Structure 1
Amino acid sequence: MARAAPQIDAYGGGGFRLNGARHDGSLLILDDQARPWPVAALNTLAPEHLADVLAAPRGAVEFLLLGAGPRNSPPPRAVREAFQAARMGLEIMDTPAAIRLYNLLTADGRRLACALIAV
């Protein structure tokens, strides 16, 4: 039986609440599992921070939804180029908007990865 994608109940104070449990710091959600993610600011993001997403089997992840922090801003060029090379979609928005979209898309059964910089 497939695992259900975690739902993000709240955010702020440098972390998130998923399915009622508090997670401090930034998060990466892949294969319906949330894990700590060591990125605290968009300008420090590098392709190696997303290596597990980029290495996902074709079709396992439709795209990466990237919550860029308190304001929407493009990620570093190397990250954009890595996703182009992998032929994987990359959607970028501020973290609050990314959380809302993530919850909607996963409730609809979409298969995506989500990287969220804590606010």
Structure 2
Amino acid sequence: MRLNEIAFTDARPVEGYGPGFFRIGGQVHQGAILTGPGGTSAWGGYEDVDALLALAGQIDVLFVGTGAEIGYLPEAFRNRLEEAGVGVEAMNSPAACRTYNVLLSEGRRIALAALPV
């Protein structure tokens, strides 16, 4: 098997999460987060679609963590992202973090927007 060393640039894997927080790149971030090629920042939830639209052309898929439980994304939210060419996959936040980490390790063009558990 061939292994490739990965340079994460500004994208870092999710190292942990818990009630109300995420740990990414050794830093704890309270509340909802957006992480990907531009680094990690606070995310304003489903009303903050502009921050996600700014990723169009930089990513192929956006994983949206819906909190502790799987939830449906608001239709207008999903439609705006898909119209901009951003693929969207919704799952609970723990699954979204794991999936993000696996695909990030493969060098894929992805981002994660997640509500805390």
Superposition TM-score, scaled by structure 1 size? 0.83
Q: Please report how far the alpha carbon of residue 13 of structure 1 lies from its aligned counterpart in structure 2 after TM superposition.
A: 2.0
After TM superposition, list the pairs within 5 Å mapping 1:7-46 onto structure 2: 7-39=13-45, 45-46=46-47
Q: Distance in 2 between matches of 1:32 and 1:55?
A: 10
Cα RMSD (Å) of the superposition? 1.8
Superposition TM-score, scaled by structure 2 size? 0.84
Q: Give unpaired runs (5+ residues) of structure 2.
A: 1-6
Structure 1 segments of 4+ aligned residues over 4 angstroms from their partners: none
The AA in structure 2 aligned to 1:24 is Q
For 1:70, which of 68, 71, 75 is the aligned residue?
A: 68
After TM superposition, list the pairs within 5 Å mapping 1:33-112 onto structure 2: 33-39=39-45, 45-46=46-47, 49-58=48-57, 60-112=58-110
Percent of residue pairs bearing the same amino acid type: 32
Q: Give unpaired runs (5+ residues) of structure 1.
A: 40-44
- Count how many residue pairs are aligned between Structure 1 and Structure 2: 111
